[in-house]
Structure 1
Amino acid sequence: MPTSPVLTVPSLFSPASPPARPRTPSVWVADAGREGHRATRLARTVLDDAELERAAAFRDEEARLAYVLAHVALRQLVAAAVGREPRALRLERDPCPGCGGPHGRPSVTGGAVHFSLSHSGPMVLLALSSTPVGADIERLPGPRTVADVTRMLHPREAAELRALDDTDSPLAFARVWTRKEAYLKGLGTGLSDDLSRDYLGTGEHPAPAPEGWSVTDVAAPDGFAAALAVRTPG
């Protein structure tokens, strides 16, 4: 049986700066337990005032480090791609394609690069692309969470999960959830959209994505699953 197409990505701080306006998706992963304190030392010269205030509000140390790492790295990577200083970037939200509200895809004012970030526990995932992109990483859930949330998915996905035992269902659930959330983040609707509408599959191989999109699994540490969704050119 052929192996599933999985994107293997380097550590966040290992590659050189990304090329300006990347033509293909660039993806990074990082562990806040290893790299969060380094990001914290950079925070005051990289993050804006609102991000610094948000970081200071976290009571959980792991969550704070993951937030700081994700946003410091995002600003560094986007700034390198568009040729600006990290703290000078103006990050905003595009209009939601569903309701028009200011909670669509995140974007950089005047920039021709698209990006997405996600963090779960200590793990951070970031993606840059020349077309709309969504990225998601999640810690594997417990069987109770799987049972509670399965009903929200596509009927075929729900049936696949119910056919598995408690040993196999957390990974299968995390696969479909990250694929689905990455795709919805790429669309700009996020989880406000109908999770049961599109079938992306729970198995080792992602199901074909909706027309105009590519959805790929991303290599993640043990105990996590991750996925990337990219709008295909044209």
Structure 2
Amino acid sequence: MGHRAPRCRCNRNSLDGSIHRGCSVKSKTNGIENMMDQISRRILWEQPGLQVWEVTIEDDEAVLLDAANSLFDKTDLDRVGSYCSSQARKNFIGTRIALRQVAAQIMAVDPASFTIYRSQCSNCNGRHGRPEFSKPGEPHFSLSHSENGALVAFSESAIGVDIQKMQPLDRFREARKRLHPDERRELDAVAPQSQTAAFAQLWTRKESYLKAIGSGLCRSAAQDYVGYRFLNDPDSWSIHDLAVGDNYRAAVTFARSLKY
């Protein structure tokens, strides 16, 4: 597990927008070669210092589990065992593998070399804040998956990403009550036939923002406004809506200092 993977020949290993889409850094760890066929990824959106990758996960759970046993630390393996749903388990494994693959490409190290831990929650100081790599100099990241949709984001500073599959609006009635009052008013002004998509987009902004600040839903979702006006707010965070499949909505939140 301690060996270094071969360095990418293009010698691009930073988050300055220059990761070469054709290069790959492959580990010789058992299970990795077969796993490569189970997970595909592409850059969905990027700018200097930030990348969002869209991940597609295939159905061979046995291959994914083999790769997880080769790559994951005890904490992540315990998480794998906690999922009762096969789809949720595959999504968790697939996004974590993609996270390690791309991070290994950025840092030119073996994908098994990363240790992931939870930072302190910015709201209550509990150990359920942002997931982070343990070593200085490793990129910040965020993960999200919803049914067959999955995203992995990397940045030079704190970042949050979220993807949601759209559901009938009545499925979100309870969540809707937790929105900021101005957000509820904005939704009320949307035509009924467009409210499902509008709510899903707003909620992905909300969750990506709460991930970026390090609290998640431990912080009241009604406390912060992330509606339409927020997109041009001059403060420290920027939110960008991401173009994903027709049945999904997604957003990423990042430090405004990275926006060019």
Deviation at 1:105, TM superposition (A): 1.4
- Give, in whole Å, the separation in 1 of the partners of 2:166 and 2:11: 31
Q: Secondary structure in 1 aligned to 2:183?
A: helix
- From 109, 119, 125, give the equivalent of 2:134: 109
Which is worse superposed, 44-53 or 61-70?
Answer: 44-53
Distance 1:19 1:136, change over 3 A: same
Which is worse superposed, 169-178 or 209-218?
Answer: 209-218
- Give, in whole Å, the separation in 2 of the partners of 1:156 and 1:120: 27
Residue 28 in structure 1 maps to residue 53 in structure 2: yes
Which is worse superposed, 26-35 or 65-74?
Answer: 26-35
Deviation at 1:111, TM superposition (A): 3.4
- Give, in whole Å, the separation in 2 of the partners of 1:91 and 1:159: 39
Deviation at 1:56, TM superposition (A): 3.8
Deviation at 1:176, TM superposition (A): 0.7
Is this contact kept in 2: 1:93–1:102, CA < 8 A?
Answer: yes
Alignment match, 2:101? 76
- From 43, 47, 50, give the equivalent of 2:68: 43
Q: Secondary structure in 2 aligned to 1:152?
A: coil
Query: What TM-score does the superposition give when structure 2 sets the normalisation length?
Result: 0.74
Deviations 1:7-28 (A, max 9, x none): xxxxxxxxx9973355711111
Alignment match, 2:13? 19
Is this contact kept in 2: 1:18–1:77, CA < 8 A?
Answer: no
Distance 1:160 1:124, change over 3 A: same
Deviation at 1:31, TM superposition (A): 2.5
- Give, in whole Å, the separation in 2 of the partners of 1:161 and 1:18: 44
Is this contact kept in 1: 2:151–2:161, CA < 8 A?
Answer: yes
| Root-mean-square deviation over aligned CA pairs | 2.7
Alignment match, 1:231? 255
Distance 1:172 1:129, change over 3 A: same
Alignment match, 1:150? 176
- Return the letter of the residue paired with 2:254: V
Distance 1:231 1:149, change over 3 A: same
Is this contact kept in 2: 1:36–1:69, CA < 8 A?
Answer: no
Matched-pair identity in %: 31
- Whose relative contact order is higher, 1 or 2, with alpha carbons under 8 Å and at least 6 apart? 1
Deviations 1:189-230 (A, max 9, x none): 111213223322269xx6334711111011111111000111
- Give, in whole Å, the separation in 1 of the partners of 2:144 and 2:51: 14
How does 1:49-68 map onto structure 2 within 5 Å?
49-68=74-93
- Give, in whole Å, the separation in 1 of the partners of 2:64 and 2:114: 17
- From 199, 203, 207, give the equivalent of 1:181: 207
- Return the letter of the residue paired with 2:14: A
Deviation at 1:148, TM superposition (A): 2.6
- How many residue pairs get aligned? The number is 217
Is this contact kept in 2: 1:21–1:82, CA < 8 A?
Answer: no
- Give, in whole Å, the separation in 2 of the partners of 1:42 and 1:175: 33
Name structure 1 gaps, 5 residues minimum. Answer: 1-15
Residue 95 in structure 1 maps to residue 102 in structure 2: no
Deviation at 1:160, TM superposition (A): 2.1
- Give, in whole Å, the separation in 2 of the partners of 1:47 and 1:18: 25
Distance 1:215 1:128, change over 3 A: same
How does 1:134-173 map onto structure 2 within 5 Å?
134-173=160-199
- Return the letter of the residue paired with 1:52: L
